[in-house]
Structure 1
Amino acid sequence: MTRMVRRSGIGPEGGASTAIRRRKQDLPSLQGAVKRRVTQPSVPLALKLPHLLSVEEVAAAIRRHPEVVRRQARSGRLPAEKIGRVWFFRPERLAEAGFTQFLPTMTPSEAPATPATDSPTESLVRALGEAGLEALRRPEQDAIFEVVGRRLADAGFSTFVFLLADDRGLRCAFRRVTEPDTDFEKVAGQPAVGTIIPFDRAPVLQGVCTSLRPHYIADADELVGRMAVAIPTVAANARRVSELLHMSTMIAAPLVVGDRAIGAIVVVGPRLRQADLPAVMAFANQTAAALEAARLLDESRKTEEAAVLALAGAIELRDALHSRAGEHAELAERFAEHLGLDPTRRRRVRYAALLQDLGKLSLPDSIIKKRGRLDSEERALMMTHPGVAADLLGRFAPLADLAPLVRAHHEWFNGEGYPDGLKGEAISAETRIISIVNAFFNVTYDLPIKTETTVDEGLQELTRFAGINLDPALTESFTTMCREAASSKAPWYQRMLDSLMRSQPPSVPAGPRDILSVADSRELRIIYRIAQETNAVLDLDTLLTRIVNIIRDVMGYYMVSILLPGNKRDELRVGAHSGYSIDITGLTIPTAQGITGWVFTHGVPQIIADVKTEPRYIGLDEKVYSELAFPLISRGRVVGVLNAESQHVDAFSEADVGLMSAVGSQLASYLEVAQLHDTLKREASHDPLTRLNNRRLFLERIQQEVIRAGGAGESFSIVFLDVNELKRINDTYGHLAGDALLREVSNALMDAVRGEDVVARYGGDEFVVLLPATPAPAATIVAQRISDGIARHRFMAGRELLQIPGVSLGVATFPRDGATAEDLLASADATLYQEKRKAG
């Protein structure tokens, strides 16, 4: 037995050369880097298993490098188990493998007696578990930080969160000390939230973020020294700060999202142990997942805001420049807050108020600007605009929940409105709020003469419509809010009065001529046509092409192009162009070169009267003599450059810059919407639970592989697998445990395959792996490696750590087992069920 252990390289006397022997390179399934997608456990491992050993502890005990221990665990030469990224070891199994140094940990009688109260480690583990779970339920970054800090402070530990600040270092995003008092604030003061610590002053945190592994320090003097270097402003008081924080030990863990770190979390306090590393790492993974979810939610909201503002701008211009949608939205949101609506519903009120006239973009000028009353046919056409707006919003998923609110904004409380004749509370509360605000503007702002009593008279007028087209209860609340604000001289109310006194009633066209200038007309035509395209087209490449064609057509420019940030930070790429004699789509230009590069870097438009005398000009057409480059700016950030070129010298003027300024702000918002749509398309091709490819994408890939392999005369294989006893896990432990099982199976699959292999969740408890250029013998080896890898993975069911029940596998090879995707899947499925029946 001893001899076998030594040969395998896992015995206590095994040679280092045997332990780190490279794997054989003749199997195609072992070639290439593996891109791992890891789902971390929802509960720290040490919550129920405090005696597990980490890679670092085992490496120190058997005197080997941690990377060697990790590699031997991966290959099965060390008796290890894994969940997510974390390998762990059981002392009893190491002792059985011949490591006698772990025998003392197996003898409970030798362990010192422990008091009935929780040990520091147990209180930490409990705090980590509670904080991690609660953080996942928080939708905002600050709320996540607060719950994490509070939970750990209750357990006697201080918490610091650092986020990467580009290449400058780490920014202190949050701190929470165990005993916040005036002494600490006076002595420490730093690192205050927002302080940036350069990497060279925080090598431990830099190492944690680079290696994606936690770090443990148990030397109080070392901690004092490192703190003094990292934060020079407290160097003189470093010892005192250490005492206030009880900083005798520290664990720093990376906040990992995907395969990169976004920062690090530092836990400081007395009597932390190296054995706490797995628990803190698992907790850090939960915190990182919560922060990433909060970031995505925030980005989604900002994109929604950009889309709404872009559409609202188009509405304002279409409404002959006298729209007050912004003021409507502000007052409606304030009224919603007065009524106690939550932030999400208040945001819906504001968006719906901004977009309520979106459908008017489809109406002709003959109706919008007609003097006098509309005839019956014109009125019928006008009444279609709420439905048109709802249809447009319903096509864009992020704003689809606004569709019913906008559709109903002409409904009356007594049921006599349009288009659906809704009555009373069948009309949403958000829409009833907007209706009251609209009515208020009609009886105040739209009056030709305003006086100090206009608001009071308007509020009295509103009460006459209560129960007819307005909700009586909400009308009373609105008048109460305004009168209370008037008596208290609330700032918002004073601003509204100033705006009211300065406002002019909507102008009526005096004749058949348009009141807009030629420049305004062209601006409207461009914005309106682009708005129509964004309603019909959300594919980014198609949208860019249509936009440059619209601008070139309306403005009569010789050539037009749009440049966007490239894959590298210091380059631009041509996203679309119109009028060029050659196809330059995808052409890259360094941001340090050319006129467009300068405009992108500085965010300032440039007019070049004669490009022949401009050394920065990069020419593609000898007929070009002048150029206009304009930055596309969204929320203070340059997101692209709109470039126009002419065959004439000095062809562009400040009027062109002014027009581009109006068009460019709208265009930047449209681009963000289209980019969001591209992101949503990518999300549609992946399984939301496991983040693997979904069935649709897998079927597309296997069809492509059938065509490729058939044309080249090659073979490929698929491995079809079914997770055993998923129903029993769901019935016994609940569906959350079943989800954890499926996620861990996906982790094991990604561990076992190559970078070019395609892993997908086929449906339910079924997974499938596409192995390009892999014949049957090699596919069989891959299938066995998958089975062996799954046997080493564990998943959390509540607070229990369970072994994966196992999987059944079926292998099929093209063209031996089928010449089509359907035949291959059927063959692999049949093999799988044959194996199931053999296993009983």
Structure 2
Amino acid sequence: MTQQDDASLARELGLLSVDQVARTIQRHPEVVRRHARSGRLPGERVGRGWFFRPDRLVAAGYPQFALPTAELTASMGPSFLAALSEAGIDALQLGSEHEIFEAVARRLATVGLGSWYFLVVPDGSGLRIAYAHPLHPAGADDPQTVGRILSFENIPNLKRTCETRRAQYLGDPAEIVKRVEANLPPGQHTDAATVARQMDLRTAISAPMVARDRLLGAITVSGPNLRPADLPAVTAFANQTAAVVEATRLLAEARASEEAMVQTLGMAVDLRDQSGHHASVHVRLLERFAKHLGMDSAARRRLHYTLLLQDLGKLGIPEAILRKRGRLAPEERAVMISHPIRSAEILERFPPLAPLAPLVRAHHEWVNGEGYPDGLKGEAIPLETRVVAVVNAFFSITFDMPGFTITELPAALEELERFAGIGLDPALVPPFVQMIRDAAASQPAWYAQLLAEMKKGHEAPQTPTGGPRDVLTVADSRELRIIHRVGQEIGAVLELDVLLARIVDIVRDVAGYYRVSLILPTDDGRLEGWAASGQDAQGQHQTRPAGNGVAEWVFAHGQPLIIPDVTVDPRYTGTDSSVQSELAFPLTSRGRVIGVLDAESQSLDAFTQGDLTLMSAVGSQLAASLEAAQMHDLLKREATRDPLTRLANRRVLLERIEHQIAHAERHNEAFSVVFLDVDQLKIVNDTHGHMAGDALLREVASALIEAVRGEDLVARFGGDEFVVLLPATLAGPAAVVGARIQDAIRRHPFLAGSQLITIPGISLGIATYPGHGRTPEQLLAAADTTLYTDKKRRKRPA
């Protein structure tokens, strides 16, 4: 059977072809075939082709196939369907009801269709004409005026459309004239027939706009050749338009709610800050600049919100800091620097505003990388933040300055230009400055209003707050960035060596020094280089040569020292010939010098009073951080040590055995453990007292450390029991170590009161992995069993 025979048979059976279905649902024929093969469309294979039963298509969710097959091919054709589809696509890209209706109406007009868009009035008594686009407007006497309310009594066809929520076809020209006549306004001079003829109202389809089971209104499409077969297509188009209108409404409501929240938060910031800023004026100038740059509405909205919320984190800053007159102390500035981070954290908790978090966090960053809190540079700073920064800086040096007059504007704009490439984006400053200069020359209405409002603001009585200005120098920024980044490391890093290494890296990175070192005292009073950053920097715990070096002098005197030329100062003991000058600063905590922060430069006389100020600002926090880290390190070491013998404790022992088992399994190695206990400890305690017993245990610990290798671990297991872990040691060599331990014990007497007494002896047992066990518990139990065998043997009389 040929393909032509297949089609003839299908027609006889009342089936639809692929092309008919594709045309009706507005899909490519190949898409219809693919969906039929996959089962997404209920098709039937007849010969080599696919065909479809209309009733099964209706059941599958395609109501347009409910019409007789002949009517499906009698519509206005592909151009009409394409226009409806393209109109729906246009609607998806617009943001207001008027824009949506206007776009789709123009699209329908391209295929000879007029259209009217109605919305249900609040009381449900009729429809309001939201938009009208007849093909041939009736001129000044057009009854279809946008905004008119049409009572359902005068629009029975639309009433039926809305009540039944089904599209209605009107193909009788006389009936259409009758409908027009019923809606002519009072005083209309043109008769209804003339109006209908002028507007080419010969056939019409009205379809309901329904979204989420809610009637929004209706759409009427008119033209010379509409047919009942066009009902499904117009219905689908109306529903799509309704969905877009509803989505636009919901978005508008969400934005209104969002805007109200932002405005409320912004007002709270203004009330808390009391900085005298004129937020509304700032917003309007920012909006003007954004339009000047050609930014879209979404970007302008982000700018608006960023400006209002950039100081949201100040709500958490103590009043005393916000109101303090004069320069803030380093600790206070560390709190002040936290407000961009606090702002971001607050916004991150509210999903609709979360995208603004990185924008407000970066509002004190500078394009040269000298800003805070993250030291972002150039385009790493969000574009919106860079735009807001230009407007912020403009107001900071002009209208927000007490006593500023308009005559000072040219000089202020020149200052703004000088700041381009330092704190401000050099690509954004020129267009902003040119916009202001052009406005100053032409005096447009918006500029005149700006001047008037700012003048009014200056004339209004203001209570000086005396609080710190929110514009910081480069030096301030360096201090704050170091303080902030060190604070972050303290919260994230607990290992002392790692923390100290990161601290010197931060100071060198932010301050730009050649080399930075942190020098701390040892238990014997010498100074030791604990951490260094920079070229040729030595590693941690580097012992310094004895003598009166620069760090030693600063540590002893508790005073900072700048050496402009190290070649002429005998206190310089370094070996790097490229170093030309040095700065050493004492780290002091509670009146006591606890370390020295040392910086070196390859230039002569490189360090100034500004560097001393920087060291002073960060030094107190570094000292506090250092003490906290040292205390943590001490507590950590104490948690792993037995307080009496200073050996590793039981927890550390079990962890090390676990690690040793894993290592042995990977490398196919053996290792051994020696389990031992002290003989007659109870007799010593009862005879000489517990102080003597403690001395006995300490002496046993000393003897064990003397008898084993450096890589072996000696631990107190509990009471009078000790364990020695011997990595990579078989049973035979472990027995040799056991004998060496016995010999060391005999050579270690201990002091009981005033008597020097020999250690009574020890009993020991040995177990080897994997022969005696594969877990720590199994190995220790096996060694313990051997120990008690040895103890019984030694107690047996000869």
Q: TM-score, normalised by structure 2?
A: 0.50
Higher relative contact order (CA 8 A, sep 6+): 1
Task: Kindly name which structure, 1 or 2, has the bigger radius of gyration based on alpha carbons.
Answer: 2
Q: TM-score, normalised by structure 1?
A: 0.47
